[in-house]
Amino acid sequence: MAGLYIDQSRVTAETAAALQALCPFGAFTYEKGRLDITAACKMCRSCIRNGPDGVVTLVEDDAPAACDKSAWRGIAVFAELEESGRVHNVVPELLGKARELAAVTGHPVYAVLIGHGGRPAAEDLLRYGADKVFLYDHPAFASFLVDAYANAFSDFIRRVKPSSVLVGATNMGRTLAPRVAARFRTGVTADCTVLEMRENTDLVQIRPAFGGNVMAQIVTTRTRPQFCTVRYKIFSAPAPLERPAGQVVEMEVTDGMAASAVRVLETIPKPREVDISEARVIVAVGRGVKKESDLAAVRELAGLLGAQMACTRPLVEQGWFDAKRQIGLSGRTVNADLIITVGVSGSVQFAAGMKGSACIVAINSDPEAPIFNIAHYGVRGDWYSVVPALLRRLREGH
């Protein structure tokens, strides 16, 4: 990894002041005749290009030797086990995608399940196309203890050597994936929206960047395994197989593997909340709704359709909705049978969270609104007129 080196012998009060004035991030500190760089540095290198000669230089570390890719084989899916004894709904979706990716390289598809009493869930994973399910079953895994789970996950990777690892972008997955990836000094790409496989086993991990204005393609070319996290509802779950041919492999759990520095004293279950990711019909509102009181008509529309209400980020920021109702990159991903957007412009961030829905109906007065680019049906008009007309038809039973 490259870093910046300061030649303290060239530092004076004048050069320090010049660099402090030059840095757009305020990353330089000067105390007692010593110039230092803080964590605010973004490596823009302006201090090297435009600063006093020789004070700040770039030091490049030797690049690590590339791994032998042929020694890593298979696509693994982390099968998150919930307290109910079932795997999280994102897992079948990841297994379906893993099978598509594996078809490019001819690799097997694995699932790794860590928990207690998980044998029935492991058997069920075979129905979604896993060639092998590696089961770490131990009382110590009854609760999610990240260090113990990381031990088991790392043991699986060392033994099996999968080339790619797909993890659901849940609270557990987002906590576990980077910790395990760090142990293998490899990369992890968060919240991928597209995954593609090259014939040389490089996984192309595509996700929005810079506020959704760019679709970044990230490839881990020198290390293995390749880690990525994927949100629920990004991919479609395959139909379960009637006669699965895979097998469950029970893995040994040692005392050291199950050891944790954390002790669970008590578990208090939270009441189940509405998750718009599960909704089949959604009515989503955006900034075209001028006042909070105007939501009454839209709520009536949602009620008549048996729909869940959702929104864009600005309405959460205004305090009109809970953040759990937000659709988009910083909110929830949905894959509804029907979604009606009311006054939603359709930013890239919002569209990425709902474009997989089966039927999208957009109501907007702006003919150039981006939402019309992904909508199956578009109604160009003021929603203050369109929605009341729609309500009248629904009340009449049409």
133 found inside a domain = yes
Does 221 share its domain with 297? no
Do both 315 and 234 map to the same domain? no
In a domain, 36, yes or no: yes
Q: For the CA atoms of 343, 347, 349, 355, what is the dihedral angle to 10 degrees?
A: 70
- In terms of domains, do 105 and 210 share one? yes
Same structural domain for residues 340 and 368?
Answer: yes
Give residue for tokens 């593997």: 257
| Percent of all residues in the chain with a pLDDT value above 90, rounded to a whole number | 82
- The answer to whether the CB of 340 falls within 8 A of the CB of 361 is yes
Distances (CA, A) of 281 to 185, 289, 292, 304, 335: 43, 20, 22, 11, 9
Kindly tell me if the per-residue pLDDT of 345 is higher than 90: yes
Q: Is residue 303 part of a domain?
A: yes
pLDDT band at 61 (very low <50, low <70, confident <90, very high): low
- Residue 332: give its domain's CATH number: 3.40.50.1220
DSSP 8-state secondary structure symbol assigned to residue 138: -
For residue 55, give the CATH number of its domain.
Answer: 3.30.70.20
Predicted TM-score of the model (pTM): 0.79
* pLDDT per residue as tens digits for the range 20-36: 999 999 999 999 999 99
Q: Which residues form the domain of 305?
A: 276-395
Helices (H), 218-291: 255-258
d(CA 356, CA 352): 8
Average pLDDT over residues 229-236: 93
Encode pLDDT of 268-310 as tens digits.
887 777 789 999 999 999 999 999 999 999 999 999 999 999 9
pLDDT score recorded for residue 63: 59
Report d(CA 361, CA 284) in Å as an integer.
10
48 shares its domain with 166: no
Give the model confidence (pLDDT) of 32-49 as tens digits. Answer: 999 999 988 988 899 999
Q: Which residue has the tokens 């939501």?
A: 295
Cβ neighbours of residue 193 closer than 8 Å, sequence gap 6 or more:
206, 207, 208, 215, 230, 231, 234, 352
Inside any domain, residue 21: yes
> Would 80 be classed as within a structural domain?
yes
